[in-house]
Structure 1
């Protein structure tokens, strides 16, 4: 049976509010680069699960939508693409690859 857990006044949240160290963030930033954007949501989702701020969750949503959109674009676009469809491919690829890596490396501490 589930029982409610009482938090005492002044109790701290078990979720850490700080970002992981620089080596861990560099490793996370390599995930979208090495997967060519397919796993572009992983760094932002990791940061959102770790800190849980609204901006972190919005970034995770943005990069998840970009990664899923890029996968659909790959599946639905012919091999020889020109014009607007090609521009959309490039934009989605850049967002889910370079944008996700840059977001992971340049994230700020909560409250700064």
Structure 2
């Protein structure tokens, strides 16, 4: 029993490629279906799988956009116009559409066929 546990713990962490196209499509649906509330989840999955600095930066950016959108939604009045409304739209767009597009296209390098 101890040898099995030590073998599992000694195994290197899973790094490498992003998930396949079907998995990426399902992950990309998470921010859209949750209206941006879970926008950082696909980026964290990609960052954990690949372990590159750019992926971690993207995960942090989408987390910041989600947290900023939550604060903006909580602190603004219902009848919002102008710059506050534009900021709401930008933050919501980054948390949903931006996170989904990042999930779909994060694994492709220049020169790869989509």
The two structures have a TM-score, normalised by structure 2, of: 0.83
Superposed displacement of residue 36, structure 1: 0.4
Which residue is 2:100 aligned to? 101
**Contact map agreement 1:69 1:92 (CA 8 A) in 2:** yes
Paired residue total: 101
RMSD (Å), alpha carbons: 1.9
**Cα distance between partner residues in 2 of 1:83 and 1:110:** 39
Kindly report structure 1 stretches of 4+ aligned residues shifted beyond 3 Å: 109-112
Unaligned runs of 5+ in 2: 1-10
**Cα distance between partner residues in 2 of 1:13 and 1:95:** 34
Q: CA 1:43 to 1:103, structure 2 compared with 1: closer, same or farther past 3 Å?
A: same
Superposed displacement of residue 14, structure 1: 3.2
Which residue is 1:5 aligned to? none
The two structures have a TM-score, normalised by structure 1, of: 0.84
More helix per residue: 2
Asked whether 1:36 is paired with 2:32, we answer: no
